[in-house]
Amino acid sequence: MRETLILAAFCAAIGAFGCGTQQPDQLQSQSQFGQSQSQVGGVSQVPDSQLVIAPKVADVPAHPLPFKGKLISGDPAELPPAVAMSLSDSSPVTFTYREELTHDDYHIPLLLSAVDPGSWVGNPTGDIGVTAFASLSISSGDTIIGDYTAKEHVSKSYSLYTQASHKEVDDAARAAVRQRLDQKIYADEARLTQAAASAPKSATASVVDK
């Protein structure tokens, strides 16, 4: 069905623009116009196999923290690995986690794609972009001992022959921002461990997620 609609749009565009009678230099001009349009919004002219633009987050092997903490805000199934591996309901140390996604999709109008020869050989015709923002607060009793934020952007382009799903890009953005937070926590691990050790054993945490 999608291929039929694309072919119909292509035929309509040919009739509207008179592509069948244009000279080679005119076709080249249209091709260059289409290419410039497909580069708007960060879409690159690259083979489809290379269309995932991943954030440059160093791969740090996940490991539990030297102390445990109680999650008082956030989804236990959607946490940075370091936090997820260090949960305990009986700990005076607490974790507060928040995660947000924003989307910035872009696509070239179908008629413009139809008259661009580059589109028919697989050049990108759109882009799905996601920015993930996350914040983590770690408290020892009533004292905040760690407050971290991270932001990562992930995008994937698509063509007339391929598609990218929002879920695929959303999942990549979430994984990237959680890994970035893990980096920050591990870099601060020694200080956090010392601060967590001083937490009163009978303290009742009262951190409010803003």
Report whether pLDDT(1) > 50.
no
CB-count burial class (<10 Å; 0-12, 13-18, 19+) for 60: middle
Closest-CA residue to 61 (of 81, 76, 78, 79): 81
Report whether pLDDT(37) > 90.
no
Which amino acid is located at 134 in the chain? A
Locate tokens 């309901």: which residue?
89
Q: Given this model, what pLDDT does residue 43 score?
A: 39
Q: Given this model, what pLDDT does residue 200 score?
A: 65
- 157 inside domain: yes
Look up the domain containing 83 and give its range: 2-197
Q: Could you report the per-residue pLDDT of 160-204, keeping only the tens digit for each?
A: 677 778 898 999 999 999 999 999 999 999 999 999 988 665 433
Number of domains in the chain: 1
- 30 inside domain: yes
Which amino acid is located at 57 in the chain? V
Report whether pLDDT(34) > 80.
no
Percentage of residues in the chain having pLDDT higher than 70: 57
- 136 inside domain: yes
d(CA 35, CA 111): 14
- 210 inside domain: no
Q: Given this model, what pLDDT does residue 192 score?
A: 95
Q: Could you report the per-residue pLDDT of 73-128, keeping only the tens digit for each?
A: 999 999 999 999 999 999 999 999 999 999 987 666 666 656 566 556 556 667 88
163 Rama sector, left if φ>0, alpha if ψ -120 to 50, beta otherwise? beta
Q: Given this model, what pLDDT does residue 24 score?
A: 39
- Mean pLDDT, range 134-143, rounded to an integer: 94
d(CA 193, CA 195): 5
Question: If pLDDT is split at 50, 70 and 90, which confidence band does 49 have?
Answer: very low
Q: Given this model, what pLDDT does residue 163 score?
A: 73
Report whether pLDDT(13) > 80.
no
CATH number of the domain at 115, please.
Answer: 3.30.160.150
Q: Given this model, what pLDDT does residue 160 score?
A: 66
Better pLDDT: 73 or 30: 73
Report whether pLDDT(141) > 50.
yes
Q: Given this model, what pLDDT does residue 190 score?
A: 95
Better pLDDT: 65 or 164: 65
Q: Given this model, what pLDDT does residue 117 score?
A: 65
